[in-house]
Each structure stands twice: as C-alpha cells, then as structure tokens.
Amino acid sequence: MRDWTTHGPDGRPRARGLALPFDGMPGPCNAITDVAGVEVGYCTLIEGDGALRVGRGPVRTGVTAIHPRGRARPFDAVWAGRFSLNGNGEMTGVHWIDEAGFFQGPVVITNTHGVGMAHHGAILWLTRHAGYDAAGTPWLLPVVAETCDALLNDMNGLHVSEAHVREALETAAPGPLREGNVGGGTGMTCYDFKGGTGSASRRVVVEDGARAASHAVGVLVQANFGSRPDLMVRGVPVGRHLPKAAVATPAQGSIIGVLATDAPLLPIQLQRLARRMALGVARTGSCAENGSGDIFLAFSTGNPVADELDDAPARIDHLRHHRLDPLFRAAVEATEEAILNALIGAETMTGRDGVTVPALDHAALVEIMTRHGRMAG
C-alpha cells in the first residue's frame, strides 16, 4: 500500500518523500482530509499557449473547494476563527465569522479576479442542494478566498465559470490530495518557483486534567508568495544557494491557509490557531511583504453549531486554554510542511506570453540539505 505521507496520488514525491526532516506525527494522508468529514475537490483549467489575448488566454487557473463536514452536509455549520497577517487580499464571509464565530457551507479558493464568480457559484450550488431550507436559511455568506495568478494566467479574462466552481464542489472527496498545479493553485508561484496547492496534517495528544485525547489538525494552503533568496527549508537558507531566478516574481503574491481540526474549540481559540499558521509561513522565510495577502482561517468539527431557530440554550465543549500548546505546534508544523509540499509537488509551467516558472529542482534541494546535514535519518 502506498505511503500517502511521502507520495501523492500521481506518484510524485512529497517533502517527506525527499527525506526532508519534519517534527510531529502526520495523519495517514498527511493532508487536511485527515480530519474526519473534511472533503476537498478541484477544478483545474489549463488552456492555450503564447501571447496574451484577454478573454482567450492562455488560461492557467482553477478552483479549490473544501467542505468542512463533507459535501452532503454543507448546512451543518462549524465554529471558526480567522487571522489576517497582511491584508492585501480577500476572504469573503469573515465579518460574520468575527461576529458570530461560525460559518456554513464550503470554503472556495481561486484567483483574485475569480472571487465574484466563485461566490456566485457557491451560492447557486448551496441553494440547489437537497438540504437547502430557504425559510430557515434565507441568506448565505460563502467563504471565498484568492491569490493572484496574473503572471501565468489571463486573469483579466475571467475564465472561472459557475460550472467550474460546481465541478470543484461536486468532485470533493476524502483521502489523499493532489498538490502543486491543481485547483486554485494551478497558476500560482512561490519563492520564484512554481507553487500552488499543498497540504499536511498532524496527530496530537491533548491532556485535559485526568483525560487525554488524540486529535487531528490538517492544513491546506494556496501558496503564491515570497522571493527566492528568502526561501528557507527546515532552517537551511536554500534560496541563497540556488541560481538567481530567470523570472523574478515580485513579493506581492499571497497565501491562503485553511486549518481544520476535530478538537472541540471556542471561536476565540480557533482564532488563536489561525494566528499560529503565520509562524509556519515564517519558517519558510517570508516576512509578509506589503503586497502580499496572507490570510488564515481555522475551523473545528468538534462541536455541532446550535440551530439559530432553536430557543434552547446552546452548549459547546472546549479544551482549556492552557491545554492548547500541542494544537498550536501542530498548526505551525503542518502549515510549514504544506507550503513545502506545494513547492515540491508543483511542476514547471509556461503560461501567458511564454513566461516559464520552473519547479523547484528536487536533486538540487536534496544536495543542499545534505550538505547542511539536514536530511532525515
């Protein structure tokens, strides 16, 4: 049986497959889908080559959809919290999350100019869902986030359609995930290399008084940020040892991070977890430049959210604040590894106007890490 922690469904190695050293214990898929119930789907759009013709391409973009409780249960809300490290980006629905501490429906991630269509598509999908109750849920505030793929994609051509959003939502599934040039991450770059979609997870034991419970923490990122000289891999300044980028991407990309956990947590505790994701980004070398939108969302499946139409008092289980450190560490570790999985899973891509962004050279990375004595085992 294939080890999904080290290799993806396409057979390509992940960061652990290159024997990079990591702390903590991943779940069986080393992905956000290790949190029971979470499902992820993609729609990947790759069309055309050559000179940019707005509206015609080349197209290098897509849509990623995350269902917190699975696509069969989009109206079962989850408690949530968010954090904006640098706000040059968009994540819709977060004002209600700040206000009420929960959200319903999927999380959709796409390119910057696709946010409107992704929002539109998510609402259409939700209102056509068999579980939709128009009287009980007269309004919807989908969570839609973005990063900018304009270097490789005809982003002003608005190629993401409602059908593409529906495809990502309908094909969502549990299990191992493809990484790199897929979904919303299709046209993204990271540290002047091809970037995109990455995921990772951790299993942690949390003690609460005389009890101890095992919990899952999973992260999915859309990585589109950073300059090559800044790239750090497990403490090694890898970017400084690699040739200068032929196409240097300005440090105004962005990263969207989504964290899921089955630990029972309050919204304010989930906000604290979302903040720790920024530390995972920092471990890879970024300092969150002015032009980068670095926005993080954390949600928990560990409690039901009370029906808003029910007058009975709602009760929520939660861990005590002083027991959260293992979850904080898991958030940092999984975010760092998810970014590296995005880089290592991506493949060289040529997009608009013949611009080519290379993949991170696996052999060169292993050589540098070996020279610094930082390989696993």
Residue 36 identity (one-letter amino acid): A
Chain center to CA of 39: 13
Residue 114 identity (one-letter amino acid): G
Query: How many CA atoms within 13 Å lie on the side-chain side of 292?
Result: 26
Rounded to whole angstroms, how far apart are CA atoms 108 and 301?
A: 18
Report the candidate in 293, 199, 233 with the shortest Cα–Cα distance to residue 21.
233
Non-local (6+) Cβ contacts of 155 within 8 A are: 61, 111, 112, 113, 114, 148, 149
Rounded to whole angstroms, how far apart are CA atoms 35 and 216?
A: 6
Is residue 154 part of the annotated active site? The answer reads no
In the set 201, 254, 286, 300, the catalytic residue is 254
In the predicted structure, residue 245 carries a pLDDT above the cut 80: no
Q: What is the pLDDT of residues 249-297, one digit of tens each?
A: 655 689 999 999 999 999 999 999 999 999 999 999 999 989 899 999 9
Non-local (6+) Cβ contacts of 279 within 8 A are: 331, 332, 335
Q: What is the pLDDT of residues 302-332, one digit of tens each?
A: 998 866 667 778 888 999 999 999 999 999 9
CB of 305 within 8 A of CB of 321? no
In the set 34, 154, 262, 294, the catalytic residue is 294
Whether the model clears a pTM of 0.85, i.e. scores above it, the answer is: yes
CB of 144 within 8 A of CB of 92? yes
Is residue 361 part of the annotated active site? The answer reads no
Residue 266 identity (one-letter amino acid): L
Residue 116 identity (one-letter amino acid): G
Is residue 292 part of the annotated active site? The answer reads yes
CB of 188 within 8 A of CB of 224? yes
Non-local (6+) Cβ contacts of 139 within 8 A are: none
Judging by beta carbons within 10 Å of its beta carbon (0-12, 13-18, 19+), is residue 59 exposed, middle or buried?
buried
Rounded to whole angstroms, how far apart are CA atoms 33 and 263?
A: 14
Q: Which domains does the chain have, with CATH numbers?
A: 16-308+317-371 (3.60.70.12)
Q: What is the pLDDT of residues 195-242, one digit of tens each?
A: 999 999 999 999 876 788 899 999 999 999 999 999 999 999 999 999
pLDDT of 250: 59
Q: What is the pLDDT of residues 15-54, one digit of tens each?
A: 999 999 999 999 999 999 999 999 999 999 999 999 999 9
In the set 199, 201, 227, 292, the catalytic residue is 292
